[in-house]
Structure 1
Amino acid sequence: MRTENQVVQDRWGFKQFVQASVPEGFLRSPVIMQGMSGPNITRDGQPFVNFSGINYLGWQQDKCVLAAFCASVMRYGLSTGGSRATQGVCEPHHRLERTLSRHHGKEKTLTFASGMLANLGFINAMTAKVNFSSTSKIDNRDAVLIFDRDCHWSLWKAAAHLKYGEQLLAFKHNDVADLRRVLGRVQGKKAIVVFESVYSSDGSVAPIGPILDACEQAGALSYIDDANGFMVYGEPQRPFYEEFSAGPTSS
């Protein structure tokens, strides 16, 4: 006699998933690291080179960075303490943003505590209504977002308040022709195309130039999540240099 729990497991595929994943090493008991996580880690007292972490520059383990972090905490506290729109921006954040703007050749830079918060902040800001006064106001609740289907979970989560099929649309992964088709559906509307440079889901690289061309021709804005693309392309010694050296193409 099959129990109700067994029926549920079969329906959702949990049992099959576990049976296939355990022998392949995807599901296992927790592996405990000692000390800091970075490009070099320690497990069970043994040193390892870590190729699966995100702290690949090793800043979290750098003594100078740690000393600067602790000194900043003692001087500026553990958080910004409130909205920059009301109380102002903290001095170190202001200096950091000006430095990043100069380094990247951008007019303005806005910093967030994480990539996820940056995605949440952008998506909500671009689809919100804000009234500071009877004259200082903006209403973009009619904006339409067009996502690459393989966009990171944090982007889909940020857009969860939008109705799919109306304010939230999607195009086939890295398919510029399908993007143009979707852009044709929202012609004349406030449209924002959202995609990534390098996708964590499969490591694929977006055709950034053709996508930006499609956005420009349709009068749409673009938002690129470059969290996984940072330092991957751009210089001759890095991968995909040829693909991005010419910038957006004309078509």
Structure 2
Amino acid sequence: MPFNLSLSEREAAGLKRSLPVIDRVSGRQLWANGKGYLNFAGNDYLGFSQAPQLRVAAEAAAREFGVGAVASPLVVGHQAIHRTLESELADWLGLEAVLLFSSGFSANQAVIKALLGKGHWLWQDRLNHASLQEAGALSPARMQRFAHNDMAALAAKIKPEAGLIVSEGVFSMDGDQGDWQGLAQVAEQSRNWLMIDDAHGLGVLGKQGKGTLSEQGVAAEKVQITMGTFGKALGVSGAFIGGSRELIEYLHNHARSYVYSTHLPPPQTAAILAAVRLVQKADDQRDQLCERVQQFRQGVAGLPFELLPSATAIQPLIVGDEHRTLRLAAQLRESGCWVGAIRPPTVPKGSARLRITLSAAHTREDVQRLVGVLHRSLPR
């Protein structure tokens, strides 16, 4: 069968993916096959997945509402707790309205497919997430990708009043931020809409954790569409699209993955709501995360591989060769540190990497241990 050949080729090239079975995971630790590891591969940036406030909220909602929403939102799945979450999200982020989705992937796909037709253009940063790239490929709109964070390249491709520009707040594999002052300027000058995927910036960056736009001083009204997720800094799962009331009402009618999917379970929704309230007061956790990032970057100075210039929780160490990346990740795991080995096609060819993620839940001693293991594992 053709797929067997494809899998054997991937394995030979060091690109085959395997599914680990994790017994239990938290912001700073995980357990697999009965052994404990320091977790430097997840996205629980503030350690909220283990917050007691979220557990209590989820348990109370399960007792009151049950464990499932029982229907899609437009039937009977949209309950009062969903409306409360939408309202508090909108107030926190300065949005007129919000729509909830089961995942960031489905939210990105839904909005691009619902908004763009044959006569539209879609401009995407070359390093945008796979959900955005795939949505663009499946959309009838004409898609063009521009060089990463290159506003001159975007301005050279742009057409006036023709469609949508999409970029990320924090890029999930490189850890750097999109140029949102530049993007807003290009969008305003060309009179095109602008969308931010702030999955990895929400909760971590900006005043009260409002995200990348707040961090960079870009007014929310300059970006017509905001996507954020609940599975990173907020510690739960799910996502939202935010924007004008008119946009959200349009998506109520045209976003197929919203219209035809069972709504978020009430316990999950209650946990997200608790996280939204908690994250706005989490300055201590954000400060601690910044300290861990600075400690890590100082600690790995002098290693033979390139550390990308990221000031966020995502710290990519470029190895290059796929097989070598897998070997290094295995060495780290043997030493008790679980780190992601990221290879093409997730990242460009030749840029296989250890994607190291830090959390406010990590202690100074945790990061010291990781740094020590890296120095012992990597050749000088």
The question of a shared fold, defined as TM-score above 0.5 by the shorter chain, is answered with yes
Q: Using the alignment, how far apart are the partners of 1:221 and 1:43 within structure 2?
A: 45
Residue in 1 aligned with 2:305? none
Tell me the SS of whatever aligns to 2:195: strand
Cα distance change on mapping 1:141 and 1:78 into 2, 3 Å? farther
Residue in 1 aligned with 2:41? 52
Residue in 2 aligned with 1:216? 188
Residue in 1 aligned with 2:125? 148
CA contact (8 A) 1:148 1:173 kept: yes
Q: Using the alignment, how far apart are the partners of 1:144 and 1:28 within structure 2?
A: 34
Q: Using the alignment, how far apart are the partners of 1:44 and 1:107 within structure 2?
A: 47
Question: Which residue identity is paired with 1:205?
Answer: Q
Q: Using the alignment, how far apart are the partners of 2:56 and 2:107 within structure 1?
A: 26
After TM superposition, the structure 1 = structure 2 runs for residues 168-187 of structure 1, keeping only pairs within 5 Å, are 168-183=143-158, 186-187=159-160
CA contact (8 A) 2:161 2:192 kept: no
1:31 to partner: Cα distance: 5.3
1:28 to partner: Cα distance: 9.4
CA contact (8 A) 2:46 2:204 kept: no
Query: Which structure has the highest helix share of the two?
Result: 2
Can you list the C-alpha shifts for 1:134-154, whole angstroms capped at 9, x where unaligned? xxxxxx553221111111101
Q: Using the alignment, how far apart are the partners of 1:114 and 1:31 within structure 2?
A: 21
Cα distance change on mapping 1:97 and 1:76 into 2, 3 Å? farther
Residue in 2 aligned with 1:201? 173
CA contact (8 A) 1:80 1:90 kept: no
Cα distance change on mapping 1:80 and 1:99 into 2, 3 Å? farther
Question: Which residue identity is paired with 2:160?
Answer: Q
Matched, 1:39 2:33: no
Matched, 1:160 2:131: no
CA contact (8 A) 1:126 1:143 kept: no
Residue in 2 aligned with 1:233? 205
1:172 to partner: Cα distance: 1.3
Q: Using the alignment, how far apart are the partners of 2:214 and 2:88 within structure 1?
A: 28
Determine which structure has greater relative contact order: mean sequence separation of CA pairs < 8 Å that are 6+ residues apart, divided by chain length: 2
CA contact (8 A) 2:69 2:77 kept: no
Provide the identity percentage: 28
Name the TM-score, length of structure 2 as normaliser: 0.48
Residue in 2 aligned with 1:115? 104
CA contact (8 A) 2:149 2:179 kept: yes
Q: Using the alignment, how far apart are the partners of 2:29 and 2:11 within structure 1?
A: 34
Can you list the C-alpha shifts for 1:40-80, whole angstroms capped at 9, x where unaligned? 32345444332211233344333442342244245154135
Can you list the C-alpha shifts for 1:160-194, whole angstroms capped at 9, x where unaligned? 3235xx621221111101111111xx3242x1001
CA contact (8 A) 1:149 1:172 kept: yes
User: How many correspondences in the alignment?
Assistant: 214
Segment of structure 1 superposing worse, 31-40 or 205-214 = 31-40
Name the TM-score, length of structure 1 as normaliser: 0.70
Residue in 2 aligned with 1:131? none
Q: Using the alignment, how far apart are the partners of 2:17 and 2:192 within structure 1?
A: 45
1:157 to partner: Cα distance: 1.8
Gapped regions of structure 1 (runs ≥ 5): 22-26, 128-139
1:220 to partner: Cα distance: 0.3
Counterpart of 1:104 (choices 93, 113, 120) is 93
Matched, 1:92 2:81: yes
CA contact (8 A) 1:233 1:244 kept: no
1:89 to partner: Cα distance: 2.7
Gapped regions of structure 2 (runs ≥ 5): 221-380
Cα distance change on mapping 1:77 and 1:233 into 2, 3 Å? closer
* Larger radius of gyration between Structure 1 and Structure 2: 1
1:93 to partner: Cα distance: 0.8
**CA RMSD across the alignment:** 3.5
